[in-house]
Structure 1
Amino acid sequence: MTVRNRILILLSAVAVLVAVGVASVLHASARADRRDHTQAGGPKVIAGKVTLTGHGRMVFRTLAWGPHRDELVTVPVADPAGPRTASGVKCLRFHAASGTGVCLQAVHGPVSDTYRALVLDSRLRTRDRYDVPGIPSRARVSPTGHFAAWTAFVGGDSYAGTDFSTRTAIVDTRTGELIPSLEAFRIVRDGHPYRAADANFWGVTFAPDDRTFYATLATGGRTHLVRGDLRTRTVTTLHENVECPSLSPDGTRIAYKKRVKGLPKDAPWHLYVLDLHTLRETALDESRSVDDQVVWRDDHTLVYALPGDYGADLYTVPANGSGLPHRLLSAGVSAAFLD
């Protein structure tokens, strides 16, 4: 064998060894990437069928990294940390009751985003859509499914300060009749008619009678819980320092966030529950500032979002102030519990 042939054989062997080494490194790297992606992405999410019917399930917006991030997903209430079934429907804010859902979405344009509200049927099909004049903030469906409400920021983007304005709309999901702004309602404050240019509403929650609702009214530097009447188009003040109210399933209490003196300006709230008969407040055993419209899982337990590794996690706390908070699930917001 000539020297030239020996050199060629040696070079070929070296090339094979290099190729094997590179392939091994790439394979190991790919496995590590997949493993890291799974860890970084959080809970397992798979595509499937999601409906707004079925007892013992919850639907929410998942924030787990991956192709299904921001989609509505469902899990059993008994296994909230289990695998999530993804719907393909993306929402920024969401709520549902009695087989009707409301989904606030961003519509991405070439220059800027716009926003819309979708009224969904029990199979998440769009029944109606409405323009939303700002950044979506709150969404709620009445217990009967006959009404839906949403709030958007039309000036500013946070409730923490005072330099913001909101627009809150209510729609009859049966007829499509839209009340584009609660600012058109007559205000009764402390028993007297009241008008003010700075009146601002947000955070609607409905009673099951298809007439009564509650919301926050801000005016004159103060916030008030108001009771609204959809027939007379009137709101009446009930209690001060109430934001983002949520009516209990039995209709006797309001859970809400309350500004507490001494807390940071960008995180000024603690959770409270108000007895509507006595107007007695109960502080809940959650020491962190909660900027959310809480949801009642049942008559005894509240669910709300707090910042987390993927954007937000959902927590629970007893509604009577008797127990500590507990993390329900990671990487999720905007929960609805199906009947």
Structure 2
Amino acid sequence: MAPPGRDRRRSGGSIGARGMTYRRRMVVLAAAVAVLAAVAAASVLHAAHRAGRRQQAQAGGPPVSAGHVSLAAGSRRLMVFRNMAWGPHRDELATVPAADPGGPRTASGVECLRFHAAAGTGICLQAVRGAVQDTYRAVVLDSRLRVLRRFPLAGIPTRARVSPSGRMVAWTVFVSGDSYAGTAFSTRTSILDTRTWRLRSSLETYAITKDGRSYRAADVNFWGVTFADDTHFYATLATGGRTYLVRGDDAARTVRTLRANVECPSLSPDATRLVFKKRVKGASPDAPWRLYALDLRTMRETPLAEHRSVDDQVVWSGPDTVVYAMAGDYGTDLWTVPADGTGTARRIMTAALAPAYVG
């Protein structure tokens, strides 16, 4: 018969061995569960991606795939825009060759509601989805779409612009209301210097000269900035039930009116013309605008060959043509028309919004 102490040692060793075996089994089980979870997640993502592609194909939308998107100048000119095609890349910044706007799209993974870019700087106005309520922010991007700074927004994004040098950025949001067609809305327009990160949070703090006289009013609204350079800009001023084209000086923090009935101006690459939307008599209150060009030297207006109402701030795609958004089957399509009143309007892209030309 073995001594009692030896029995106890054997018994203790057996229990320890069983404990180690149990722990090994639990480790193996945990690892197996983790692997199965990873496989299941990958399967779900793959299925979702395939479903998105099927949805896109069934809807007849343009082909979109993930890839590299850059705002830097390259060997060929590109369009960068918000992709509106249904599928896994909806609302992402995407790109196509400017010479082939209907071609396959490369999506970036960066989502924007409004976007513009110039000289390697991008401004992306985003929604931040919340459990109870969405919020919004302005995100300044570098040429590789990396975030440089974020700024909270006071309302729904509606307009965005970058100066030709890439230094100055502007955006407009609806603080109340969500349409320019009526009068029951309020906007806030901000200007940001991306070199110093100085933010002018509202153009309403700028001194206004209206019809040659100093002007102040509680109902002042600004929107639709377009930059001439890093100091001077044009924009829309609304007050007293009317709209005005203003020229602004950011350094002096002043604006002065130039002309009535001008909204969402867009300056030509040579800074000699503006294309804007103008309210026309007899039009529906819900669709009141028509596109016009304004020669800044003669102040002569010319109606463009787009006869529908356009509620957008156009983008110049070259020295003589502009691009703008119209309602389409996927939300919005992009159309183009000559800026001199000749020709006809034509659609160049389906399911796209907020274009910018780089390169």
2:249 alignment partner in structure 1? 229
The number of residue pairs the alignment matches comes to 308
- 2-side partners of 1:107 and 1:329: how far apart? 27
2:218 alignment partner in structure 1? 197
Matches within 5 A, 1:282-321: 282-321=302-341
Cα displacement (A) at 1:39: 3.2
Matches within 5 A, 1:244-255: 244-255=264-275
Matches within 5 A, 1:202-221: 202-208=223-229, 210-221=230-241
Q: Do structure 1's residue 103 and structure 2's residue 124 form an aligned pair?
A: yes
The alpha-carbon distance between structure 1 residues 70 and 37, as it changes in their structure 2 partners (threshold 3 A), is closer
1:102-126 deviations in whole A, cap 9, x for unaligned?
0000001111000000000000001
The alpha-carbon distance between structure 1 residues 176 and 326, as it changes in their structure 2 partners (threshold 3 A), is same
The residue matched to 2:337 in structure 1 has which SS?
A: strand
Q: Do structure 1's residue 338 and structure 2's residue 358 form an aligned pair?
A: yes
- 1-side partners of 2:119 and 2:56: how far apart? 37
1:45 alignment partner in structure 2? 64
- 1-side partners of 2:334 and 2:286: how far apart? 20
Letter in 2 for 1:119: V
**RMSD, matched Cα:** 1.4
Cα displacement (A) at 1:37: 4.2
- 1-side partners of 2:254 and 2:287: how far apart? 32
Give 1:166's match in structure 2, choosing from 187, 201, 206: 187
1:216-237 deviations in whole A, cap 9, x for unaligned?
0000110000000011100010
Any conservation in 1 of the 2:265–2:277 contact (CA below 8 Å)? Answer: yes
Matches within 5 A, 1:1-339: 37-40=56-59, 42-53=61-72, 54=74, 55-208=76-229, 210-339=230-359
Any conservation in 2 of the 1:216–1:225 contact (CA below 8 Å)? Answer: yes
Cα displacement (A) at 1:299: 1.2
The residue matched to 1:322 in structure 2 has which SS?
A: coil
- 2-side partners of 1:104 and 1:327: how far apart? 25
The alpha-carbon distance between structure 1 residues 34 and 262, as it changes in their structure 2 partners (threshold 3 A), is same
The residue matched to 1:312 in structure 2 has which SS?
A: strand
- 2-side partners of 1:328 and 1:187: how far apart? 39
**Structure 2 length-normalised TM:** 0.84
- 2-side partners of 1:34 and 1:94: how far apart? 25
1:119-144 deviations in whole A, cap 9, x for unaligned?
00000001011011000000000000
Structure richer in helix, relative to its length:
2
**Structure 1 length-normalised TM:** 0.89
Indicate the larger mover: 34-43 or 255-264: 34-43
The residue matched to 2:328 in structure 1 has which SS?
A: coil
Q: Structure 1 regions of 5+ residues with no counterpart?
A: 1-30
Q: Percent identity?
A: 67
Cα displacement (A) at 1:33: 10
1:73-102 deviations in whole A, cap 9, x for unaligned?
000011111100000000000000000000
Cα displacement (A) at 1:32: 12
- 2-side partners of 1:61 and 1:322: how far apart? 28
Letter in 2 for 1:242: V
- 2-side partners of 1:95 and 1:234: how far apart? 24
Q: Structure 2 regions of 5+ residues with no counterpart?
A: 1-49
Any conservation in 2 of the 1:146–1:174 contact (CA below 8 Å)? Answer: yes
The alpha-carbon distance between structure 1 residues 32 and 231, as it changes in their structure 2 partners (threshold 3 A), is closer
1:254-303 deviations in whole A, cap 9, x for unaligned?
11000011111111000001011111000001111000000001110000
Any conservation in 2 of the 1:259–1:269 contact (CA below 8 Å)? Answer: yes
Any conservation in 1 of the 2:52–2:88 contact (CA below 8 Å)? Answer: no
Any conservation in 2 of the 1:41–1:65 contact (CA below 8 Å)? Answer: no
- 2-side partners of 1:274 and 1:63: how far apart? 31
